[in-house]
Amino acid sequence: MIRVQIDLNGKTALVTGSTQGIGFAIAKALAGSGARVAINGRSRASVDGAVARLRDEIPGADALGLVADVATEEGAGAAASALPEADVLVNNLGIFGSEEPLEISDDEWRRYFEVNVLAAIRLTRHYLPGMTAKGWGRIQYIASDSAIVIPAEMIHYGVSKTALLGVSRGFAKAAAGTGVTVNSVIVGPTHTGGVEDFVYQLVDKSLPWEAAQREFMKAYRPQSLLQRLIEPEEVANLVAYLSSPLASATTGAAVRVDGGYVDAIVP
């Protein structure tokens, strides 16, 4: 019998924006697979709390805290100094929100690209050379179904995620033949605290959560085949696989964990 086992023992992983939500679920999945995981956030309190929670949920987990705002040049530099090398880089940090399309200012467009795109590019520039020198590495960009199906109520977010698909494909070409794989993960509507807040911006705030979720999916995401929000752990399972030696032939790809939301045979 052939058993599929994700083994990341001896590997060091950095997951940006990982004190909660999808990022924390990814960090937990990687730690559970044996990796040494750097949890990243902007405040010492949030990072220390997430590290303690991870060690509590995964006894014996090798976790460290990395306090840095990687959406800035200074913060990315601080992160690189604190963790000079990594075998796995998961660019999870991102912001989202709804806004009237014609009211999105230049400053808001810039902010979305700084956080959602440039943060990932800066860290890739730092860690990719070390990975190629060792002949092994995994880089992932957490994208979104909004990269393909641009929502009218959050164009700036969708376009920033579209950019990540191009960034991922381009860096995969830069790493061709080195043993380093670079992929993006297209995530569908996912159940996190931040998404709960977003849902209640769009539906009746008096509705209980289960009813609000159903109303949101019906009104704003009707093409979902799953017909429910995705749980963060379901995203983390795919990321853990792509981070492992098992995914050695998957690179330059946009891999979907979207609940069938994108109505296409290929991304």
Residues 112-169: pLDDT tens digits?
A: 999 999 999 999 999 999 999 999 999 999 999 999 999 998 999 999 999 999 999 9
Give the count of domains, the chain.
1
Torsion over CA: 212, 53, 22, 91 (sign): positive
* 144 assigned to some structural domain: yes
Are 142 and 185 contacting, i.e. CB atoms less than 8 angstroms apart? yes
pLDDT band at 227 (very low <50, low <70, confident <90, very high): confident
pLDDT band at 102 (very low <50, low <70, confident <90, very high): very high
157 is catalytic: yes
Q: What is the SS3 assignment for 141? A: strand
- Residue 65 phi/psi, 5-degree rounding, is -95, 140
Task: Compute how many other C-beta atoms are within 10 angstroms of the C-beta atom of residue 60.
Answer: 7
* pLDDT at residue 2, as a whole number: 63
* 203 assigned to some structural domain: no
Instruction: Identify the active-site residue in 112, 127, 141, 157.
Output: 157
Residue 19 is part of a domain; what is its CATH number? 3.40.50.720
pLDDT band at 3 (very low <50, low <70, confident <90, very high): confident
Q: For the chain, what percentages of helix, strand and coil (3-state, to nearest 5) are there?
A: 50, 15, 35
Whether the full predicted model's pTM is greater than 0.85, yes or no, is yes
* 211 assigned to some structural domain: no
Are 259 and 225 contacting, i.e. CB atoms less than 8 angstroms apart? yes
* 221 assigned to some structural domain: no
Give the Cα separation of 146 and 157 in Å (integer). 8
Read off the pLDDT of residues 46-82 as tens digits, 9 standing for 90 and up: 999 999 999 999 999 999 999 999 999 999 999 999 9
DSSP state of 19: S
* 214 assigned to some structural domain: no
Which domain, by its residues, includes 32?
Answer: 12-190+230-254
Q: What is the mean pLDDT of residues 217-233?
A: 91
* 166 assigned to some structural domain: yes
